[in-house]
Amino acid sequence: MRELSVFDIIGPIMIGPSSSHTAGALKIARIARKLAKSRIISVRFQLYGSFATTYKGHGTDRALVGGILGYATDDYRIRDSFDWAQKAGIDVVFEEMENEIDAHPNTVDITVTEEDGTVSSIRGASVGGGEIEITRINGCDIRYSGKNNAVIVQQYDKPGVIASIAKIFEVFNVNISNMSVFCEEKDEAAFSILEIDGDFNELGMEALCRQPNILSAMYIKVK
């Protein structure tokens, strides 16, 4: 049984009445922000279950927008995040989804559009106490808790690719604490999630992205 910390019980320091509806939502949106390589011009939030019915009263909408802007959970700008998004030139749309999905009730789909026309998407759930689970990226089903620093790599599903990815981490002396690979169909694009101990620098990311058969990579720093 996992040992509980005080943060598992009371949740993180945050702006808003509920860690599930504000802190968790913000963390999901911050990861969605990291998918973008250029300036974000629009974001669509599709809300399911409890999120869809209570997002305005609990401040979930402001937290989600704050996450897209890159705010921390205790940033007071969250209260005026819609105004800050407008100043940043980001168009924001919320949709209350009535159809049921096989997912946690606090679930949101986030679709981000960049100024160059690139569109990316993410599905995440706020599972309580400010904890989250990312369950889909760009249509591919994955599992990532957001608790540890991680590098998320999209690559072609070909022999030797995983070994070349792991070699980069060895060269940069970074320990991989957990690695999971997710793919929809054999020989098509796959996602590798590498949770790591410590940090991963820009040189390491550049070396990783130069490897054959690597489509993209993003670093999520949570510690």
Q: What pLDDT score does 37 carry? A: 87
- Write down all domains in the chain, each with its CATH number in brackets: 6-144 (3.30.1330.90), 150-220 (3.30.70.260)
Q: How far apart are CA 171 and CA 60, in angstroms?
A: 41
The overall pTM is greater than 0.85: no
3-state secondary structure the chain: CCCCCHHHHHCCCCCCCCHHHHHHHHHHHHHHHHHCCCCEEEEEEEEEHHHHHHCCCCCHHHHHHHHHCCCCCCCHHHHHHHHHHHHCCCEEEEEECCCCCCCCCCEEEEEEEECCCCEEEEEEEEEECCEEEEEEECCEEEEECCCCCEEEEEEECCCCHHHHHHHHHHHCCCEEEEEEEEECCCCCEEEEEEEEECCCCHHHHHHHHCCCCEEEEEEECCC
For residue range 54-74, list pLDDT tens digits in order. 888 889 999 999 999 999 988
Strand ordering across the sheet containing 214-220: 175-183, 189-197, 150-156, 214-220
For residue range 30-56, list pLDDT tens digits in order. 999 988 989 999 999 999 988 888 888
For residue range 168-208, list pLDDT tens digits in order. 999 999 999 999 988 766 657 889 999 999 999 999 999 99
Per-residue pLDDT for 153 more than 90?
yes
Q: What pLDDT score does 197 carry? A: 93
Q: What pLDDT score does 94 carry? A: 97
Mean pLDDT, the chain, rounded, equals 86
Q: How confident is the model at residue 3 (pLDDT cuts 50, 70, 90)?
A: very low
Q: What pLDDT score does 185 carry? A: 63
Q: At what angle do helices 161-171 and 202-209 cross, to 10 degrees?
A: 160
For residue range 11-37, list pLDDT tens digits in order. 444 444 455 568 899 999 999 998 898
